[in-house]
Amino acid sequence: MIDAVTARQRFAEYYGHAPAGVWSAPGRVNLIGEHTDYNEGFVFPFAIAERTWVALGGRADRVVRVATSFAPDAVEIHLDDLAPDAVSGWAAYPFGVAWALGRFGGDLSQASGVDLFITSDVPVGAGLSSSAALESAVALALDEHWGLGLDRLTLAKVGRHAENEVVGAPTGILDQSASLLSESDAAVFLDCRSLDAEVIPLHLAESHLTILVIDTKVEHAHATGGYAARRASCEAGAHALGVSSLRDLDAGDLPRAQRVLDDETFRRVRHIITENRRVLDTVRTLREQGPLAIGGLLDASHASMRDDFEITVPEIDLAVSVAQAHGAVGARMTGGGFGGSAIALVAVDLVPAVSKAVRDAFAERGYGEPVIFTEQPSAGARRDA
Ligand code: GAF
């Protein structure tokens, strides 16, 4: 297990002296609201227990050096050389964040260099936002060390900017907001247009419920392929319907959308319109009736991602349908799709039975073994030491 003490030790072993501080940021599960963020809609994620840790030490020069436990070689860059196309691979995340901090109001011309050591237990490629955990931890650490004083929403924008401009993935602000704004036992209700955020208690433990994560091990990547295509369809749909974003439409616009758009674009647009409604209904239902009552909305969200947005894969659909058939309150894919993880809202005492049923079903179909674990909605990014 990784914690602040381990992160300090790893830094000290690598650089030969103690770090000035340790910061960490979590991955996320999105409870509901998929692909709505870049359509200026609503999302409702929570932070998971797995985190990325950044230990930082100051330097006298203007070099940023990054070492990690997941790549053999350290990488370094002079602060004057930071640029979107200056780096590639995993280093694009930390260096991209450093570059984006300069773009969001931090004057880096007098900033001194830093040594960073990064370590993480957020699963990579599981749809649980390992990239946002890395961006958010680095953003928080550098913001504090350099005394930039940027607020957390701005740091979320910094992470998104790094991902869009440096990594090259056209993602929205969901993941970084979840990582930076979450609190324990709660989810973040974010309006991605106004960026108004509200932390809403989930009351899972009182209801004897937990979130089961089923990582199908089917790896996804958002810098390529389907994710960008879905975003382009949404933008084309909004343009054809005369709105600046799909956020401006509701169910009353669906008949006109069906007349104006081709079938595929219509179904993409219908997913966004209905998913925004489901997020609002989830938040209201949770407040009025508690988490046991939101299962149908999770199920409907999955059906919409499978049939209208077409971002699920057979392994994910199987995990969801088996969980539903074995007593889950509700289940859906979480994250951008094309692989990754499903989540199921499950009574605590049903966890072993649902897990076994999913494992058996995967074995029967000849799919690779999924990794199944429970998640506790956890604290957001913070300074640990
Ligand atoms: C990925 C992206 F990074 C998010 O911005 C969001 O669009 C999500 O997919 C889908 O809801 O995690």
pLDDT digits (tens, 9 = 90+) for 7-48: 999 999 999 999 999 999 999 999 999 999 999 999 999 999
Give the domain CATH number at 98: 3.30.230.10
Quick check: is 259 in a domain? yes
Identify which of 174, 272, 305 to mutate to test ligand 1's pocket (most ligand atoms within 8 A of the CB): 174
The DSSP symbol for 378 reads: B
Point out the ligand 1 atom lying closest to the alpha carbon of residue 131: 3
pLDDT mean over 348-364 = 98
Contacts of 324 (CB under 8 A, 6+ apart): 299, 330, 331, 344
User: Helix 351-365 to helix 314-325 angle, to the nearest 10 degrees?
Assistant: 140
Give the domain CATH number at 217: 3.30.70.890
Of 140, 169, 200, which residue constitutes the final position of a domain? 200
Q: Are residues 169 and 96 in the same domain?
A: yes
Ligand 1 site residues (CB inside 6 A) read 30, 34-35, 37-38, 129, 171-172, 174-175, 222, 335-336
Distances (CA, A) of 243 to 45, 275, 287: 26, 18, 31
pLDDT at 356 over 60: yes
Distance 221 CA to ligand 1 centre (A): 11
Range of the domain at 245: 202-375
Percentage above 70 pLDDT, the chain: 99
Q: How confident is the model at residue 222 (pLDDT cuts 50, 70, 90)?
A: low
Point out the ligand 1 atom lying closest to the alpha carbon of residue 127: 12
pLDDT mean over 55-75 = 95
Contacts of 206 (CB under 8 A, 6+ apart): none
Residues 75-90 pLDDT 10s = 999 999 999 999 989 9
Question: ipTM higher than 0.95?
Answer: yes
Q: Are residues 88 and 229 in the same domain?
A: no
Q: Are residues 187 and 122 in the same domain?
A: yes
Q: Are residues 239 and 253 in the same domain?
A: yes
Number of domains in the chain: 2
Distance 47 CA to ligand 1 centre (A): 14
Identify which of 30, 34, 37 to mutate to test ligand 1's pocket (most ligand atoms within 8 A of the CB): 37
Q: Are residues 160 and 305 in the same domain?
A: no
- Are 354 and 346 a contacting pair, CB within 8 Å? yes
In terms of Cα–Cα distance, which of 163, 124, 171, 189 is closest to 336? 171
- Catalytic site residue from 175, 215, 308, 384: 175
